[in-house]
Chain A
């Protein structure tokens, strides 16, 4: 099993640009989660999907953030336009039940 795959690993972009983060969950997992981690705020839940349907997006900070899961094997998190305060590590995780999640390696986003 290749685990949860995130791309890119690192992204540096200029303020105002669109950023798209990608995630491939573990095959057979029916829940997918997007988290953001910063020193100040820790690991924050942004949005999660169950069977490709968004369940709770109350953690999405602003309308600049959007997430999609068009099928069971792919999800995207988009920021448009990006701002310096969006700089963080973004993690994707997947799960098949309530026995815990498997995290991807994360995408380190830097907005300059």
Chain B
């Protein structure tokens, strides 16, 4: 499988700050990128996805994609303690290009 790299963290930010989560990937053929959030003991849940280079905003979340650098990031504005979780980056890849290949995730801790 192609590699997806994320800093495992923990990334600690105070409440109200911006959290920046980064991800690099090795498969140049990947065209779509997904961010999932996973609370401890729970299943991953989709936050947002991005297809095109540039920024995509959804509420407090902004995904950024740079295909030339093979880099994708997730910004969380006005971080809340409820955002404390593990964030998983997942490019579409696999044999037919239709399977999510997950990084190991970055653990975010937001302190109040």
Contact = CB atoms under 8 A, between A and B. Distances in A.
Interface string B67-105: 000000000000000000000100010111011111111
Nearest to A99: B49
A14 interface: no
A56 B95 contact: yes
B43 A59 contact: no
A112 interface: no
Interface string A8-25: 000000000000000000
Interface residues of A, number: 24
Contact of B96 (A35, A50, A59, A103): A50
B100 A101 contact: yes
Given A43-B88, A98-B92, A103 B98 contact: no
B43 A42 contact: no
- Interface SS of A by simple majority: strand
A31 B98 contact: yes
B46 A101 contact: yes
Contacts of A101: 46, 100
A1 to B, nearest CB: 15
Contacts of B96: 50, 55-56
Contact of A103 (B43, B95, B104, B105): B43
5 contacts: A42-B103, A43-B44, A55-B95, A55-B98, A56-B95
- For the complex of A and B, the 6 pairs showing the least CB-CB separation, nearest first, are A42-B104, A56-B95, A103-B43, A43-B102, A100-B46, A48-B99
Interface of B: 1, 32, 34, 42-46, 49, 88, 92, 94-96, 98-105
Given A42-B102, A102-B46, 15 more contacts: A42-B103, A42-B104, A43-B104, A48-B98, A48-B99, A55-B95, A55-B96, A55-B98, A56-B96, A59-B1, A91-B44, A98-B98, A99-B49, A100-B49, A103-B45
